[in-house]
């Protein structure tokens, strides 16, 4: 199996960073590129009663925090001489977004953490990682 493109969905959690580090290891071994994808949940930023300006400010803050995380990940990738790009997508359906993004980028492998920042971290496999595992057309490696 040739691994040219690795997708790492990243939500800012420790589990996602652990998955990213594994992706760097694999990318270095196979000469692969890494694409980090963060899905910002537009459904969870406010309610119908909240002024839209507040929602835009929350999203702007989330994007800035995500960009800081990306810079930290770039340092890790650069130390291992692995090419990395990053993308932020606003969505209310992270599983569908990750799977369709993976297909559009012709991903050979998805590497992601077993649980993220969701409300139910105590479950063995998070709902997003489980959904991606079930629906992706390429291999998915789940890191505990």
pLDDT tens for 62-112 read: 999 999 999 999 999 999 999 999 999 999 899 999 999 999 999 999 999
pLDDT at 54: 74
pLDDT digits (tens, 9 = 90+) for 17-56: 999 999 999 999 999 999 999 999 877 665 555 667 777 8
Would the pLDDT of 122 be above 60? no
In the β-sheet with 33-41, what is the strand arrangement from edge to edge? 84-91, 33-41, 5-9, 109-113, 140-143
pLDDT at 121: 42
Cα distances (Å, whole numbers) of residue 38 to 7, 28, 30, 79, 136 = 11, 22, 24, 22, 17
């Amino acid at each position: 199996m040739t691994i040219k493109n690795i997708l790492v969905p990243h939500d800012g959690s420790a589990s996602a960073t652990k998955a990213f580090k594994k992706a760097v290891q694999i990318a270095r071994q196979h000469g692969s590129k890494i694409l980090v994808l963060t899905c910002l949940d537009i459904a969870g930023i406010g309610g119908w009663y909240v002024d839209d300006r507040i929602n835009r400010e929350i999203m702007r803050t989330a994007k800035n925090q995500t960009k800081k995380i990306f810079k930290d990940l770039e340092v890790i990738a650069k130390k291992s001489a692995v090419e990395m790009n990053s993308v932020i997508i606003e969505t209310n359906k992270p599983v569908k977004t990750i799977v369709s993004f993976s297909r559009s980028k012709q991903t050979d492998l998805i590497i992601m953490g077993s649980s993220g920042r969701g409300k139910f971290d105590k479950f063995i496999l998070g709902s997003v990682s489980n959904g991606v595992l079930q629906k992706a057309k390429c291999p998915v490696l789940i890191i505990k």
